[in-house]
Structure 1
Amino acid sequence: MIETVIFDMDGVLVDSEPLWRRAKVNAVAKFGGTITEQLAYQSTGLRIDEIANYWIRYCGLDENCSVDLQNAILDEVIEQINSKGELLPGVLASLEWLSTTNLKIGLASSSPLRLIEAVLQAFDIGKFFEIYVSAEYLTHGKPHPQVYLDAAEKLATEPRNCLAIEDSVNGLIAAKAARMTAICVPEPGQENNPRFGIADIKLASLEQFIGSAQVKKVLGR
């Protein structure tokens, strides 16, 4: 029985994945590397240090620039969230509906805490979440399941009684490795990625969440 719903953040709650891709391209260029927004998909769902180190290796950059590259990416993402970020369709309605149930609501993200808190504040949605956890200081970020396991523990729920909502393959792998039921909401253009086949439910957007017969069955509603 599902007792808890745990949301990913980037690409699930807020339309930040395009902002992340542009920030990666721009930040890598500042340190002498060249990548495209299409290439930037390759590090979607990873933790910020893993993102920086991924592109340092890919572009053959100086390993000592890792922290500065992380900060350059993150600063641009936060700036863009505050100036042009938007909640994705169906997010607010889904959160408001869940808040009327007896289900616990949490957030488990690879993003640093300062980005999580910036998003929750910018869109006034922190009130919906009992807890939020970041993989920032964990030994491993997604696709490792630890951030989801930590969220379940904080919410006093067995992982098998959790429903995770993800947009990335790395996040989906993390949720399934934690033995959670998982919904994927792929970013437009990624819907046909066969790796999303491990999801229990696939939605085009969270606008379908409340009315989905599959979701209602999983939630026992």
Structure 2
Amino acid sequence: MDAVIFDLDGVLVDSELTWDEVRRSVVAAHGGTWRPEATRAQQGMSTPEWARYLVDTLGARLTPDEIANTVIDEMTSRYTAGPPVIDGAREVVREVARQWPVAIASSSPPVLIHAFLTACDLTSLVPVAVSSEEVAAGKPAPDVYLRAATLLEIPPERCAAVEDSTNGLRAAQAAGMTVYAAPNAHFPPEPEALAGATVLTNLTALPAALKAGR
């Protein structure tokens, strides 16, 4: 293994509930109807993908661009006081970065990825940060992970990926990476998505698991 690529939401930032809350409120405010499967369906989608989903599937009466801007503006506002960083996440990234090149491959828009890196003073330690907005398809497609590996100049099969959700785990596996799962407590991944992954008790167990290669 020659590099480690982190997901952001649910792995380093406890933001999945916030995304869900904001999207639900925007859909309701604009005439749409939330569906039971909507939360899981959107995990891993790129911004254009979930914006179309809110409009085409849930019936929000805005254009995809309008609803994307509305949701992201509200998320950015909630990050003003600092993103909800998961306990120990900053220290884990720092410890891992001492031994391997580190990247982020996230479905969040670039503005929120950079807000996290700036708030945690990690910008210099994370030279590559890719949003699924910048590739053809969001998770579970492997595109965002493959792009991160390309920018790191390391073959994907020589990278470890750290994920929490069903679609994220599928994306990392499809990219051919060694996968470490830190399951999301709010929205646990499906058992089949954990097949072949090393399941961590929590994120702070990652450095030791990487060093042990298990």
| TM-score (structure 2 length as normaliser) | 0.90
Q: Aligned AA for 1:29? A: A
**Distance in 2 between the 1:13 and 1:37 partners?**
26
Q: 2:35·2:58 contact (CA, 8 Å) conserved in 1?
A: no
The yes-or-no answer on 1:185 pairing with 2:175 is no
Question: Within 2, Cα distance between the matches of 1:192 and 1:107?
Answer: 20
Quick one: which amino acid aligns to residue 100 of structure 1?
R
Task: Summarize the alignment of residues 82-93 of structure 1 with structure 2, pairs less than 5 Å apart.
Answer: 82-83=80-81, 85-93=83-91
Q: Which moved more, 1:202-211 or 1:178-187?
A: 202-211
Q: Following the alignment from structure 1 to structure 2, what is the Cα–Cα distance between the partners of residues 199 and 192? A: 13
**Displacement after TM superposition at 1:199 (Å):** 4.3
Secondary structure, in 3 states, of the residue corresponding to 1:96?
Answer: helix
Give the one of 158, 169, 173 matched to 2:155. Answer: 158
Q: Is the 8 A contact 1:47 1:142 kept in 2?
A: yes
Please give the alpha-carbon distance, in whole angstroms, between the structure 2 residues aligned to 1:75 and 1:36. Answer: 23
2:24 maps to 25
AA aligned to 1:112 is P
Question: Which consecutive unaligned segments of at least 5 residues does structure 1 have?
Answer: none
Q: How does 1:164-203 map to 2 (within 5 A)?
A: 164-191=161-188, 193-203=190-200
- Equivalence for 1:14: 13
Amino acid at match of 2:57: Y
2:11–2:182 contact (8 Å) kept in structure 1:
yes
The residue that corresponds to 1:72 in the other structure is: 70
Q: Specify the alignment match of 1:217 in structure 2.
A: 212
Q: 1:32 to 1:192 in 2, by over 3 A?
A: closer
* Residue pair 2:169, 2:179 contacting (<8 A) in 1 also: yes
Offset of residue 22 of structure 1? 0.7
Partner of 1:174, secondary structure, is: helix
The answer to whether the 8 A contact 1:31-1:69 is kept is no
Quickly say closer, same or farther: Cα 1:20–1:188, change in 2 above 3 A: same
Q: Which amino acid counterpart does residue 16 of structure 1 have in structure 2?
A: S
Q: What is the TM-score when the length of structure 1 is the normalising length?
A: 0.88
Selected match of 2:204 from 187, 201, 207? 207
Deviations 1:163-196 (A, max 9, x none): 0011111111111111000111121144463133
Whether the 8 Å contact between 2:141 and 2:174 is mirrored in structure 1 is: yes
2:136 is aligned with 1:139: yes
Judge conservation of contact 1:152–1:159 (CA < 8 Å) in 2. Answer: yes
Q: Is the 1:90–1:209 Cα contact (8 Å) retained in structure 2?
A: no
Structure 1 window deviating more from structure 2 (159-168 vs 136-145): it is 136-145
| Number of matched pairs | 214
